Amino acid sequence: MIYETLYNGDLIPILGQGTWGLGGGMYPDYSRDDSAREIIRTAIELGYIHIDTAEMYGGGHTEELVGQVIQDYRRQDLFITSKVWHITMRYQDTLQALDGSLKRLGTNYLDLYLIHRPNKDIPLEETFRALNELVKQGKVRHLGVSNFNLDQLVRAQGHSETPLVTNQVPYNLHNRLYVKNGVLDFCQKNNILLTAYSPIERGHLVSDPTVRNIAERLGATPAQVALQWLLRQPGVIALPMSTRKDHLLENLGALDLDLSGDDFEALNQIELSEESLWPE
């Protein structure tokens, strides 16, 4: 695994395992718990020590599944991220939300805690008052945000008493909204990682002709090309999500792929989508 170094010397893997859909969508689904636990365990065994989850995933059940698996590993060997949902961003609600996440995960701290998405009805200052307190209490090591546009990110940076680690956003070859809106440039200039979720656009990128042509010539897969295009950019890390071991291995192979300058430029010229997974 390859790592980025955070402001205090901590390391974060540039590839993590997303968990959206494991254990349910917005509500719990217990019907495939065994397979969900198995894919989380397999990911960790393969080297995906950054596990990304959220209190909203599966109505909290996803955190429970992650927690059941990570009990078999040394906590200090893992990097666990979770997120506070936008309806629990009042000061006291945020404190309670974090305690709920810790209980479900079976740990006494998170490596990274994110605001899942903005809530225009709750002042960021109030939410960060709680987040800053959680850092002081040692329950959270690092803070970040998710789905924040440039103005929201700048304001969040101003309210955080510790450097923001990341803005987690949808970013891939077909969705470059957060390049166009200035977020990526701001992150790169301010040592904030941009964490790309849906980095292969839920599999849709594998049929892109430019991606397929480059992959065929390099003896790689389209998913590996799409991931390497992201990871080659300064300050960008990615959270592909897979429920199959062969796809987990395939994604790891992106770390060894060497794109030429011409390949990178050809990928940059792919026709873009204006759509965003989260409207601003």
Dump pLDDT digits (tens) for 12-33: 999 999 999 999 999 999 999 9
Q: Would 60 be classed as within a structural domain?
A: yes
- Is residue 73 part of the annotated active site? The answer reads no
Give the pLDDT score at 206: 86
pLDDT digits (tens, 9 = 90+) for 219-245: 999 999 999 999 999 999 999 999 999
**54: alpha, beta or left? (left if phi > 0; alpha if psi -120 to 50):** beta
Buried b / exposed e over 196-218, threshold 16 CB at 10 Å, is bbbbbbeeebbebebbeebbeeb
Count the Cβ atoms, other than its own, within 10 Å of residue 107.
20
Q: Mean pLDDT across the stretch 87-93?
A: 97
State the CATH number of the domain containing residue 97.
Answer: 3.20.20.100
Q: How far apart are CA 51 and CA 56, in angstroms?
A: 15
Residue 251 lies in a domain: yes
Is 274 part of any domain? no
pLDDT value at residue 274: 47
Angle between helices 245-253 and 222-231 in degrees, nearest 10:
50
Within a domain: 278? no
Tokens of 172: 């891939």
Residue 49: inside a domain: yes
pLDDT of residue 272: 61
pLDDT given at position 150: 98
Residues 6 or more apart whose CB falls under 8 angstroms from that of 255 comprise 1, 2, 14, 15, 228, 231
Q: How many residues does the chain have?
A: 280
User: Does residue 277 form part of some domain?
Assistant: no
The mean per-residue pLDDT over the stretch 121-148 comes to 98
Catalytic residue among 57, 171, 178, 197: 57
At 280 the pLDDT is 38
The CB density around residue 180, as the number of other CB atoms within 10 Å, is: 10
User: pLDDT value at position 202?
Assistant: 73
36 within domain boundaries:
yes
Determine the structural domain holding residue 145 and report its residue range.
3-268
Alpha-carbon separation of residue 187 from 119, 144, 197, 233 (angstroms): 21, 12, 16, 12
Domain count, the chain: 1
The model's pTM? 0.94
- Binned at pLDDT 50, 70 and 90, residue 213 comes out as very high
pLDDT interval class at 278 (50, 70, 90): very low
